[in-house]
């Protein structure tokens, strides 16, 4: 696991085999496994991310979603669950 400077990881978050780039914000009670969260990106509360998902710079994942094996381009928001 690698966590860069300026990252915020809130209470109850579980991380496994994750890279958090500078300024990433992971909100409370989310689970992230085998994934990369890009610069200045955010993952909402109660989100589950797995299956080698990659989020580009300045991406935002809304609360309570399931993300599995998804590549998100920079400067985008995800508003619904995505499964490959």
At 84, is the pLDDT very low, low, confident or very high (cuts 50, 70, 90)?
confident
Report the predicted TM-score, pTM, of the whole model to 2 decimal places: 0.94
Query: Which pLDDT tens digit goes with each residue over 17-56?
Result: 999 999 999 999 999 999 999 999 999 999 999 999 999 9
Question: What percentage of the chain exceeds 70 in pLDDT?
Answer: 100
- Averaged pLDDT for residues 56-78: 97
Confidence band for 73, pLDDT divided at 50, 70 and 90: very high
With contact defined as beta carbons under 8 Å apart, do 44 and 28 qualify? no
Residue 67 neighbours by CB distance under 10 Å? 23
Residue with token string 């989100």: 47
* Residue among 31, 26, 32, 33 at smallest CA distance from 10: 26
**Computed over its alpha carbons, how large is the radius of gyration of the chain?**
11
Neighbouring C-beta atoms of residue 21, cutoff 10 Å: 20
Give bridge partners of residue 81 from the DSSP assignment: none
| Per-residue confidence band for 1, with pLDDT thresholds at 50, 70 and 90 | confident
How many whole angstroms separate alpha carbon 4 and alpha carbon 39? 9
């Amino acid at each position: 696991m690698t966590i860069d400077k300026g990252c915020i990881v809130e209470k109850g978050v579980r991380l496994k085999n994750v890279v958090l780039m500078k300024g990433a914000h992971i909100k409370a009670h989310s689970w992230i496994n085998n994934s990369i969260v890009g610069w200045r990106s955010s993952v909402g509360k109660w989100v589950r991310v797995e299956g080698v998902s990659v989020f580009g710079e300045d991406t935002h994942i809304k609360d309570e979603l399931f993300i599995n094996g998804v590549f998100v381009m920079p400067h985008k928001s995800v508003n619904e669950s995505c499964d490959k």
